[in-house]
Chain A
Amino acid sequence: MPNLFKIKPSVGLLSLPYSLVFIFFFFIPLSLTLIISFWDYNEYSIIPDLILENYRYIFENCFSFENGMCVTFKTYLSTFAFCLITWFFTLIIGFFVAYFLSFYVNSLTWQIALFLICTIPFWTSNVIRMISWIPLLGRNGLVNDFFLSTGLTSTPQEWLLYSAFSVVLAFVHLYTLFMIVPIFNSMMRIDKSIIEAAYDSGANGFQVLWNIIIPLCKPGIVIGSIFVITVVMGDFITIGIMGGQQIPSIGKIIYVEMSYLQLPAAAANAVILLFLTLLIIWIMTKMIDIRKEL
């Protein structure tokens, strides 16, 4: 932590605009969320107070396990599972797409063109994109038509849509780009002569990948992972639509609480979600020091 008083006045002045933006649009709202999570509320107003009721309510029945797992634990468990699976697939796919783009595509024009193709999933609105899965994966959709006509299955496969499978599919489809970009960025900085030197010293392709490229891509991998994990942790639209609203998510619980004006309860949920997400990111940055690597 640099001492503010020792910094030259001009430096302080230069950082002022950003500091103000940071304070007004990040620090203050977040502090308010934290404060309100300890307030009381009724049907139509929130009441300044200092109570733990909102937090107690979230974890009610969570530590008895008499009636199975409580909603909060179930929801977080399901969210963590989505995070892990999505992270795994986006990482594998994203890494190899980035690898292809940076080592096999030599012209900048082609790199840009192929990059644009990777952004296609973002060209339509979220809702239209989700709805478009129905004709593909639905009971009467293309995939089921194919299965039935080739005799692979005798009845339409229902797990294709409104299931954990379709949620993961939509996540991977969308967020692989978030992995590609930072990993590609890391790969482009790798000095090609290092790789040549490795081959000259007798390393095979796998050894080069494992001992040189992956270690040098770590910052990109971590940044991409942070993007993917934070987005999946807070998502409720994709889980809602692709899961047929039958799969819980913390975001949805917060959304419902807010629409019923249970703002302190929503704030408490948001604080817990934020805490857990930050914890994951903290663990990841412990594994690799991004600042040093950049």
Chain B
Amino acid sequence: MKKNITRRNMLKTTTAAVGAVAGAGLLKGFPAIHAADAPVIRYLGTAVNMGDAVQKRLFDDTGIKVKFIVKTTDEVVKTIFTQPNSFDIVDSEYFSMPKLVPSGNLLGMDTKRIKEWDNVTSAFTKGEVAGKKIGDQGTAPKKVMYLKGSDSKEFASEPTQYVTLIPTVYNADTLGIRPDLIKRPINTWAELLNPEFKGKASILNIPSIGIMDAAMVVESMGEYKYPDKGNMTKKEIDLTMKIFTEAKKAGQFRAFWSDFNESVNLMASGEVVIQSMWSPAITAVRTKGIPCVYQPLKEGYRAWAAGFGLPATSKGRQADICYEFINWYLSGWVGAYLNRQGYYSAVIPTAKKYMEAYEWDYWMLGKPATADIMSPEGKKLASKGEIRDGGSYEARMGSVECWNATMDENKYMVRKWNEMVAS
């Protein structure tokens, strides 16, 4: 699976192997960076955006080597809490910040040391795309971007020099469908619970993300209009889960999925025809030659965003190397690599320099492909004449409705989710 670069893909074997390597490194008790050796960065994250090609290019350009500590999204957060000195740099999601920042385990990142800071997309810094405000329900990056100081445990409401994470990658998620099995247009989240798809629908069994998809469905069914989907009250959680519990009892869902590969298998085998899905899973189904569409829906998308942070103890040469790595990451090559996977780079102008004009037109401008579109691994993703699902960057990111979130009532929500699963 390593070659199928995928977000949050749980690379079980790699995890074990890398974990063992990282563990061995820890036991020896030596710092990861030795003054005389080639610089090495211990990189904690899902690492799904970091294929072999990225590491090779990084080493060629900067001489920096990366040692991965691969974990799932939730485990990354857990590691920051429980082993804050086990990594040099962490790739985390913005929705974890309300939990992480008060712990003081992360360093405020100095934006003055980021060359391309002024070019970071406004979706992060202002919550705007092409000058237009986008949905900010949930933990939108702009809400948890700025800190009051380099070692502050509080968010600043106005832009400051210090930020929680240096943004790297983001995307707008929606439902995936099998157009060949559904045979009619789908244009609303409400279709997930349409009895027409009884026994052929699925949703992901990761409470913090699943609840957002559920809220999109409930709202589009006209059942309830949330003041903020990303921060529900107990009553709203009850209501949302009641609707889904009833659907589950009526046999609406074929299965829930919690692992990226499961979602691919459900879709590819035709067990499921409509489900919550992540962009690379769509790609994985398509590269098997099976039609699968990342369906744009009229209510908009559920977005997520990730970035780099440093542990609070980071300083000196070790910190310098990490900043050098981040600057390299934002300098364009990786940006183009991410864009070609269907994600978006946080710094768009530099990524453009590394993309062919026809690629740029397809991925970012939503124009019909003038040549076959290839994945970074050289697999065909789309034929000449096809248009990207959802269209251009502005059309997709401009229609973001809400963001992955950490709710105040998180504990209650997880419990209610478990009740739904048990019902």
Contacts and interface: CB of A to CB of B under 8 A. Distances in A.
B27 to A, nearest CB: 16
A246 B418 contact: no
Contact of B270 (A43, A125, A139, A259): A139
Contacts of B119: none
A240 interface: yes
A252 B207 CA distance: 12
Contacts, number: 89
A78 B423 CA distance: 11
Contact of B77 (A45, A138, A261): A261
Contacts of A135: 269
B271 A161 contact: yes
B160 interface: no
B159 interface: no
A256 B265 contact: no
B271 A139 contact: yes
A276 to B, nearest CB: 17
A245 B205 contact: yes
Interface in A236-270: 240-241, 244-246, 248, 252-253, 256-262
B257 A140 contact: no
B81 A45 contact: yes
Interface in B99-124: 99-100, 102-103
A44 B270 contact: no
Interface stretch (B28-36, B183-191, B248-256): B248-256
Nearest to A74: B422
A134 B268 CA distance: 11
A196 interface: no
Q: Which of under 10, 10 to 19, 20 to 34, or 35 or more describes the interface residues of A?
A: 20 to 34
A293 interface: no
A74 B271 CA distance: 27
A253 B269 contact: no
Nearest to A67: B419
Interface residues of B, number: 41
Contact of A261 (B78, B207, B422): B78
A256 B418 contact: yes
A49 interface: no
Contacts of A253: 418
A127 B257 CA distance: 13
B323 to A, nearest CB: 26
B253 A246 contact: yes
B26 interface: no
Contact of B75 (A127, A139, A256, A259): A259
Contacts of A171: none
B411 interface: yes
B202 to A, nearest CB: 8
B231 to A, nearest CB: 14
B414 A257 contact: yes
Nearest to A70: B419
A252 B258 CA distance: 11
Contacts of A140: 269-270
A158 interface: yes
A277 interface: no
A256 B418 CA distance: 9
B410 A244 contact: no
Interface in B64-86: 72, 74-75, 77-78, 81
A71 interface: yes
A123 to B, nearest CB: 16
Given A45-B103, A139-B270, A246-B255, A259 B74 contact: yes
Nearest to B257: A245
Contacts of B74: 259-260
A262 B99 CA distance: 12
B376 interface: no
Contacts of A134: 265, 269, 271
B169 to A, nearest CB: 22
12 contacts: A44-B99, A71-B422, A134-B265, A134-B269, A139-B269, A244-B253, A246-B255, A248-B422, A253-B418, A258-B78, A260-B411, A260-B414
Given A43-B410, A244-B256, 17 more contacts: A43-B98, A44-B81, A44-B103, A45-B103, A131-B261, A135-B269, A138-B271, A158-B199, A162-B254, A244-B255, A246-B256, A256-B207, A256-B417, A257-B414, A260-B74, A260-B207, A260-B208
